[in-house]
Homo-oligomer: A and B are copies of this chain.
Amino acid sequence: MSDAPASTGHADPDRQPIWSRPERGSRGPAPAHSRDAIVAAAIALADAEGLAAVSMRAVAAALGTGAGSLYRYLTSRDDLLDLMTDRAVGELRPYPQVEGDWLETMVLLGRRQLALFGTHPWLLDVIHRPSGIGPEGLAWFDNCIRVLEPVRCPVAAKFEAIAMMTGVVSLFARRESAAGAFSFAGLDLAAHPHLVAAFSQPSGPAPRANLVERTLRSLLSGLLITESTEVG
């Protein structure tokens, strides 16, 4: 035992973000696992049983080890969630070539995002945490900025528009995964005349497709085009 050990081998409060931390040092035996294997196991669990099933114990069990062992590779569960998110965002590659209108390209990117939320529904529970962006997220962001290059407006507006696009896509994704979940059980529906009147009205045509596209188009053009004409 040493009097003043430089490191206990465990987490200290202020560490660099995981993106710049090396996977392992230069000494000691080869690790039995890898960040990638852990993240893959966690994503498989989340895809199959939801984010709540991604406990340190469950992920560790999927790799045949104990929960505490994972902390040789990660500093916290949040780290794991960040890694999962960035890896999923990486599935947005390859980015489509820019051809024709930038708006159409952005809408295409939005549809890609929507599809990603479909294959990894747990992303909806994870993206709202305040957390540093990862390298794949940064690359996606860079790509969006590239697509928006011909648009003449402040950078801040482009940032806002990209964030809002992601947000709106997440709203649509949530609607699809929830699928009209909310019920009126136990409530006095009759006390709300406008609601019952609306329900008794002929339902009209079914909600059309391409709603996401149209929404994104009007949102992005509203945020980016009419931008330069008015200054508050």
Cβ distance A149 to chain B, nearest Cβ, rounded Å: 7
Taking the full assembly, how many copies of this chain does it contain? 2
Taken together as a complex, chains A and B put the C-alpha atoms of A19 and B189 apart, in Å, by 12
Q: Nearest B residue to A142 by beta-carbon distance?
A: B192
Taken together as a complex, chains A and B put the C-alpha atoms of A69 and B97 apart, in Å, by 61
Q: By the criterion of a CB under 8 Å from any partner CB, how many residues of chain A are at the interface?
A: 74
Interface: A6 (CB within 8 A): no
Q: Are B215 and A219 in contact (CB under 8 A)?
A: yes
Q: Which residues of B contact A231 (CB under 8 A)?
A: 205, 208
Q: Mark A146-180, 1 if CB is under 8 A from B, else 0.
A: 10010001111110100110011001001100100
Interface: A143 (CB within 8 A): yes
Q: Are A19 and B208 in contact (CB under 8 A)?
A: no
Interface: A4 (CB within 8 A): no
Interface: A103 (CB within 8 A): no
Q: Are A131 and B182 in contact (CB under 8 A)?
A: yes
Cβ distance A17 to chain B, nearest Cβ, rounded Å: 4
Taken together as a complex, chains A and B put the C-alpha atoms of A138 and B198 apart, in Å, by 14
Q: Are A187 and B133 in contact (CB under 8 A)?
A: yes
Interface residues of A (CB under 8 A from B): 16-21, 124-125, 128, 130-135, 138-139, 141-143, 145-146, 149, 153-158, 160, 163-164, 167-168, 171, 174-175, 178, 181-189, 192-195, 197-199, 201, 203-211, 214-215, 218-219, 222-223, 226, 230-232
Top 7 A-B pairs ranked by shortest CB distance? A208-B232, A154-B204, A20-B186, A142-B192, A167-B171, A17-B186, A218-B222
